[in-house]
Each structure stands twice: as structure tokens, then as C-alpha cells.
Amino acid sequence: MHSSKIVGVGHHVPEAVITNQYLTTIMDTTDEWIIERTGIKERRWIDPSKDTVANMAAKASRIALQRANLTEKDIDFIVFATITPDYFFPGSGVLLQRELGLDGSIGAIDIRNACSGFIYALSVADQFIKTGMYKTILVVGAEIQSTAIDPTTRGRNTAVIFADGAGAAVLQRSDNPGILSTHLHSDGNFAEELYVRDPGSSRPREERQPEQILDTTHYKVVMNGSLVFKHAVVRFLEVIQEALAANKMSKEDITLLIPHQANLRISQFIQHKLEFSDDRVYNNIMRYGNTTAASIPIALSEAWGEGKIKENDVLCLAAFGSGFTWASALIRW
């Protein structure tokens, strides 16, 4: 059986920096309130006249390919993680294929596992390479959430958190194992604790008319924040330990933990439980907010760009989010 390895990473975020101070001008909130509850100081929101999920993903992908010394023509397959596709259908994978000029030449699939989406996508790509079906796979996480949130006092609990961006990784067949293991879990009993109900297909047509869908009360994010936090801190630790046990490693073997950037308080709780120093956990939620499926690849790309990831380092990626879903990946760089 073949092995797979990440050979290039890249990311792209919109130009517009949305500070907490700006949010205080459009909703009843404060910089202190936001930082205390989330750790976020600023985030990026798109310019709807020029940014799309697909073109942000393409920009991140080209950086990843350049860093891998590859070109678009080297890609055999695309696995695209997003819950905010440019269209209800088709998925964003084929739109990225078009953006990269690969029309008709390769396949693409979409993963809709929210905050765990990138690790799920990485696992799917890893299996394709291990079985010999593909040699080089582009794995992407990208989101545009600013156009769906309610940027008023009514929606502030989630509007201050979610943001836009894209990250990409190039996974390639290798003689030296890079993706050591991936671990995927879900529990649909908690689906409605963090979800967006509409536009969903299970309601009668009269409940999904355009004037109702345009009303932000119909597609708002519903989040039971305290319950999500309680489950997240448990599942994060469980799935990290699962990855270590599967590879007969201990927490001391992890060079760098890159958690999904959901809430700085969650990351700090996990760091405390693992007794990790600050230099062993990478967080950038302070600058970018929660970019859902894009958060881990953006953080991975930034950490690499800052020289925090070196050859033979052991990285642990971990995520928890809507579904509930949670996942981890143990990687040797």
C-alpha cells in the first residue's frame, strides 16, 4: 500500500480587515466582550463584487502548488471542504477545477462536514492515494460566511465569530509516510445544537419561498454555545489521544498541535490539559476568526510560512464542530 505526504500548503484571506471596533459601530457589543468570549480581535470579510469561494480557493491552491514545485496540470483529483458553496449545486470542487483550467480532465468531490471538513477531506484524499487510485490530490477548505451572518445586535453571538478565507494542501504519493493516520467521528443526535436550518429541502415549497429565504431569521446560525464548548473540549482530547494511541506515540511526540480555530478558550483549555507550552500550539483565530473548514489549512499554511514546521516534525490536527463531527490527523512532515 502507498503512503501520502503533504508537499505544499497555501492560503488566501480577503483584504478587508473587520476589527472588533468596527463591529461596535453596527451592533451592541464591545471589544472586551468579544475577546473575553472568543479571543478574536479581527477577522476578514469578502468583497462580494470580486471574491468567491472558488476563486479564493484557487489563489490558495496556486500558492500550495508553487511551494510544492508543481503546476495545476499535476493535480489528479480535488477534494473540496466547504459548507458555504458558491451555488446550492453544483459543488465548489468543479468550480475550482474550472478556475484552475482543468476542465474535463480530473474529478472533484465536495465534503460538507463544517469545522471538521478539512480533516475529513484530508482523510478521503489519503485513502485515494494509499489505494493507488491517484498520485497527487489537491485538498481545500474554503468558506464565505460573512454574507450569511446577521451583522446586527440580533445576530451578534455568531456574527462576531465567523469569517471568510481559504486554505489548501497538496497531498502526494510518497515512500516516506506523511499522513500517519486520520480518525473521524460523528454524532447526529446533536445536529440541531449547531446548524443552519434553511434553505433545506425537507420543508414544503411554501416554506421556502424567496422572500422567506431572504429573511435572515431563516438561515441564521443556531448555536448552543455552552453545549458545543462542553462537548468540544471532551472530543478534542479524545480524538488527539486516539491518534497518538494508533501510532504508539505519546503527547511528548507532538511537535505542534494545530486545532480548528473555533474559539481561543477551547484551544487554551486543550493546551492546558495536554500541558503544552505556547510554542507547541498554533492559534491564529485572533486575526482571522472562525473560518470553519478553512481554519486548519490556513493555520497550517501560516505556521509553515513562519518557520514553525520543519522536516520530520510531528503535527496533530484536530477539529470539532457541527454535526456533531470531530476528527484528528497525525502527520509527519
DSSP state of 274: H
C-alpha cell at 180: 500517519
Q: 29: which strand partners?
A: none
Given 11, 20, 260, 316, which residue is catalytic? 260
Query: Is the CB of residue 154 less than 8 Å from the CB of residue 28?
Result: no
Query: Is the CB of residue 121 less than 8 Å from the CB of residue 137?
Result: no
Question: Which sign, positive or negative, has the C-alpha torsion 90, 72, 258, 313?
Answer: positive
Helix, strand, or coil (residue 314): strand
C-alpha cell at 66: 508553487
- DSSP string covering 35-95, please? HHHH--SEEEE--TTT--HHHHHHHHHHHHHHHTT--GGG--EEEEE-SS-SSSSS-HHHH
Query: Is the CB of residue 330 less than 8 Å from the CB of residue 316?
Result: yes
Pairing of strands 165-174, 314-321: unpaired
Question: Does residue 260 carry a catalytic annotation?
Answer: yes
What's the rounded Cα separation, in Å, for the pair 292 and 63? 20
Question: Does residue 11 carry a catalytic annotation?
Answer: no
H helical segments located in 138-224: 156-159, 210-213, 216-219
Given 115, 183, 283, 316, which residue is catalytic? 115
What's the rounded Cα separation, in Å, for the pair 333 and 64? 15
Question: Does residue 290 carry a catalytic annotation?
Answer: yes
> What are residue 122's phi and psi, to 5 degrees?
-60, -40
Residue-wise over 202-239: b if at least 16 C-beta within 10 A, else e?
Answer: eeeeeeeeeeeeeeeebbbbebeeeebbebbbebbebb
Nearest to 294 by CA among 51, 88, 90: 51
Positions marked catalytic: 115, 260, 290
